[in-house]
Amino acid sequence: MYLKQITHDLKSKLSADHNISIKNSHIYELIASWNGYKSKASMNTSGVFFLNELGYSEENKEPDLFFSRGNSFGYSTLELTLLNNEITKSLNKFNLIFISYDELTLDYFLDDYEYVKSDYVQLLNTFETYKDHLISAVNRGYSIAAITLARFYEDLEEVHEIDDQTLDWYMVAAELGSIEAKSIVAFSGDSPQFLVEAAEHGDKPCIDKIARQENSPEKVHYWNEVAELYGHDITSNEAISDGGNWYVGHEGIELPVISEQAKNEAKQRAKTTFDKYSEEDGY
């Protein structure tokens, strides 16, 4: 709806003020390139336009791509400079901002979010504004959007005016492959298979938990080797300071005695696990 209105306004303004005639399809494609996408189709599958509730001023994200795309449509550099200026003005005038699905995290809402989360009414309004877009992103397979929904519900949970769906959305995110969500669900006591999966991907709390649950000394060593390959230490105590007083916040695991051969086998198994899952995660 908003893009159609912007397109209509742009066509009228470009014709009246600059004597530039432009097709609707070209405006859509140039808005896509303005946002850093090679085509409108690519943009539509990668994110969504929001009403810019946070007050950000938007600028062309990929000027080179914009001018290259415009040149392919036959527009001159001068015409594209004017088009760029008018598109920028229109998007800011209509308060539109394009957000990729990968950016739909609470970090995106941070400036506004840190302020509104102390005010239930404003937090609920922010949530209602973005909820449908987040669900749309989840339906496209973006686990980060499910995590964002879970976190919204987490902060709204204290006020019982809406059903708490925090764990439900973390479960959805876990099923979509999020290691963070798998760890959270595993620690809630649901779906123990996520505990192993998150540990194999290097989640330290899950590695620590599963190692403590193991009855086999060889498996305890295996998980310790996995932890070390990911750069974690689960055998040392961790001290925490509280008002100048120090105490043990996390007690390290004591490794059982096993043979050197068993240790080497644990190392080899751990290396196989690390090579498999760290490559998937780009570790």
Q: Are 37 and 46 in contact (CB under 8 A)?
A: yes
- Of the pLDDT bands very low, low, confident and very high (cuts 50, 70, 90), residue 110 is very low
Of 213 and 160, more confident: 213
Beta bridge partners of 245: 242
Residue 241 phi, psi dihedral angles, 5° rounding: -95, 135
Q: What is the pLDDT of residues 163-202, one digit of tens each?
A: 568 889 999 999 998 888 999 898 887 678 899 999 999 9
For residue 129, CA distances in Å to 1, 38, 152, 162 come to 16, 28, 12, 15
Query: Which pLDDT score, from 0 to 100, does residue 113 have?
Result: 47
pLDDT higher than threshold 70 for residue 142 = yes
Beta bridge partners of 250: 238
Query: Which pLDDT score, from 0 to 100, does residue 226 have?
Result: 96
Query: Two tokens at 3?
Result: 């893009």
**Distance in angstroms (rounded) separating the CA atoms of residues 67 and 183:** 45
Q: Are 171 and 185 in contact (CB under 8 A)?
A: yes
**Distance in angstroms (rounded) separating the CA atoms of residues 51 and 1:** 12
